[in-house]
Structure 1
Amino acid sequence: MSRRARILVINPNSNEAVTDGLADALEPLAFTDGPEIVCRTLREGPFGIESQKDAESVTLPLARLVAEDPADAFIIACYSDPGLHVCREATPRPVFGIAECGVLTALSRADRFGVIAIKAGSIRRHLRYLRQMGLMERLAGERPLEMSVAETASGEGTLARMIAVGRELRDLDGAEALVMGCAGMARHRKALEDELGIPVIDPTQAAVAMAIGAVQVAQMR
C-alpha cells in the first residue's frame, strides 16, 4: 500500500489560535483520497509576525523544520512569506508562501486586487514584496485593520473591521478582488465575500490548493 501524501502547513508564529483557525479554514480542502493536510505551530516564533525583524527571526527555524520533515509539500502560513527562498533551498520538495499564492490567485479572478493588512506598519513590507514580484500595477490598494495578529485570530470585532476596510478598498480604491493579508483572518473569508460581493482570497487556502495540485500531479504515473 502506498504512503498517503502529506502537506505540512506551518504557522511561523507561536499563537495556537492562529493555527486552529488555519485548520478550520483548510478542512474543506481535505478529501478521502487526497493528501493529508497537517497544521503545525512554529514554537520558536514570536506571538505574531508584525515587523521585518519578526519575519527574519523565523527564517532559520523554518528552514530546519522543512529540511527535517518528510512532508511532500510545505506551506509557510504567514503573509510576509518569511524564509520562503531559504526553505526552498533546504528541500527539493515544493514550498509555497501564502502571500505569493494569494496574490497569484487574486490575479486569476480580477484585474486589480486589494490587500487587507493587519497594521499600517506591515504595508511597506508587503509593497516591497509586490515590487519584487513585478505586480505593483495590478494593486488597487492596501489598507490596514490596525489590529494585532492575536486580535484578528480572536475574532472579536475582526469581521466588522474587515468589512469596513474591504468596502474602502472596493469603493474608493477600485479593488475587484481582495486578499486577506494575515493567516489569522482565515475564518472570516466567506462572510467577508458574502458581504462585499467580490472575490475574497484566503491566501492559505490558495497555497494549499496549489500544493494539492503539485502533490497529485507528482503522483501520476
Structure 2
Amino acid sequence: MTRTRIAIVNPNTTDSMTASVVAAARPAARPGTDLLGITARFGVASIESHTDEVWGALAVLQEIERLEDSATPPDAYVIACFGDTGLPGAREAASGPVVGMTEAALMTAALLAHRFSIITMPRRTIEQSDRVVRTLGLGHRCTVRAVDEPVAEVHDGSAHLLGLFVTEALRAIADDGAEAIVLGCAGLADLVAPLQQRVGVPVIEGVSAAVALADGLLAQNLTTSRSQTWARSTSPRPAQAGEHR
C-alpha cells in the first residue's frame, strides 16, 4: 500500500514545538498517513507580531519550495501557526493541497456549533485571528478572545495554562454564547481534553483539524485550484534568506 505523507510546517524556529505539534496531531491522521514535521530554518522563535509573521511566511515558502524540489515531495501540507502564516504563497508553491490550522479549526467549529469563540495568545495577535474569521465570512458566528501569555510559554507544553483557558472559555460561553471553543495557538493540544471536560462544549485544536482535512482532500483526489487565485507564480525565484547574488 502506498503511504501518504503530510508535512506539518512550523513557521517558527523552535524544534520542540514542531515535535509536540506533530505528536499531538498524529491520532487525527488516517492509517497509512505519515506526518513529517518541518521547522523553519531561519526567522523567529515564536510568531507574536506582524513582523514575526513576515519572517514566518518567508520561512514557510522556503521550506515548501525545498520540499517540492526534493525527490519525493509530500502529498499535502499543514501550516501550524494560528493566523495561517504564509498560507496563500504556500498554496501557489505546493503541488498538493495546503491547509491552514486556523481555517481548518474554524470550518470544523462551524460544523459543530452555531456560535463559537477563539481563545488565542497573546492579546496582540487577535488581529491575526480576526483576519481569518473575516476571510471565511464567520464574523457573525465567531468571537475572538485572548489569554495574554507569550507563545514561548507553550513551546514545551501548555498544561500549566489550563486555569487561564478555563476562565476565558467560561466567559466566552456566558458572554459570547459560544457553543464550542477553538484553541488559537499550535502549542495548545495539551488543553483539549481537560478543557472540554471542564467547560462542557467541544474544544477544537487546529493542527489536528488540518491534518484530518488534508487527509480528506487527498482521499477525494482534490488539490488546490490553479484557475486564478492560486495559479503558480511565474516570477523568477529570488535569492533565499541569507543568500547573496
Q: SS in structure 1 opposite 2:178?
A: coil
Judge conservation of contact 2:83–2:131 (CA < 8 Å) in 1.
no
* Bigger mean CA offset, 70-79 vs 38-47: 38-47
* Matched residue count: 216
**1:121-160 paired onto structure 2 within 5 Å:** 121-139=124-142, 141-154=143-156, 155=158, 157-160=160-163
Structure 2 CA distance for partners of 1:156 and 1:98, relative to 1, 3 Å:
closer
- Superposed displacement of residue 68, structure 1: 2.8
Q: Secondary structure of the residue that 1:142 maps to in structure 2?
A: strand
What is the 5 A alignment of 1:1-221?
3-32=2-31, 34-69=32-67, 70-139=73-142, 141-154=143-156, 155=158, 157-218=160-221
**More helix by proportion, 1 or 2?**
1
For 2:25 and 2:187, locate their aligned partners in 1 and report how far apart those are by CA, in whole Å: 13
> Residues 102-124 of structure 1: CA distance to partner in whole angstroms, max 9, x if unpaired?
10000000001100010211112
Distance (Å, rounded) in 2 between the aligned partners of 1:100 and 1:31: 20
Identical-residue share of aligned pairs (%): 34
| 1:48, distance to aligned residue in structure 2 (A) | 0.8
In 1: Cα distance, 2:58 partner to 2:8 partner: 17
Kept in 1, the 8 Å contact 2:119–2:184? The answer is yes
Structure 2 residue identity aligned to 1:136: G
2-structure distance, mates of 1:28, 1:156: 19
**CA-to-partner distance for each residue in 1:31-90, whole Å, 9 max, x for gaps?**
54x211122211313111111111111222211221231000000000111110101111
Read off the aligned partner of 2:7 and give its amino acid letter.
Answer: L
Please give the secondary structure, in 2, of the residue aligned with 1:58: helix
Letter of the 1:212 counterpart? D
Deviation at 1:129, TM superposition (A): 2.7
Q: In angstroms, what is the RMSD of aligned CA positions?
A: 1.7
- Provide, for residues 146-193 of structure 1, a one-character-per-residue CA deviation record: whole Å limited to 9, x for no partner: 111111334363111111111111122211111100001112111111
Larger radius of gyration: 2
1-structure distance, mates of 2:15, 2:63: 18
User: What CA distance in whole angstroms lies between the structure 1 residues aligned with 2:17 and 2:173?
Assistant: 26
Q: CA deviation at 1:21?
A: 1.9
TM-score normalised over the length of structure 2? 0.83
Give the gaps of 5 or more residues in structure 1: none
Return structure 1 stretches of 4+ with deviation > 6 angstroms.
none
CA contact (8 A) 1:88 1:95 kept: yes
In structure 1, give the amino acid aligned to 2:50.
Q
Task: State the one-letter code of the partner of 2:153.
Answer: E
| Contact persistence 1:153–1:185 (CA under 8 A) | no
- Rounded Cα–Cα distance in structure 2 between residues aligned with 1:17 and 1:150: 11
TM-score by length of 1: 0.91
- Verify the 8 A CA contact 1:84 1:95 in the aligned structure 2: yes
Deviation at 1:30, TM superposition (A): 4.1
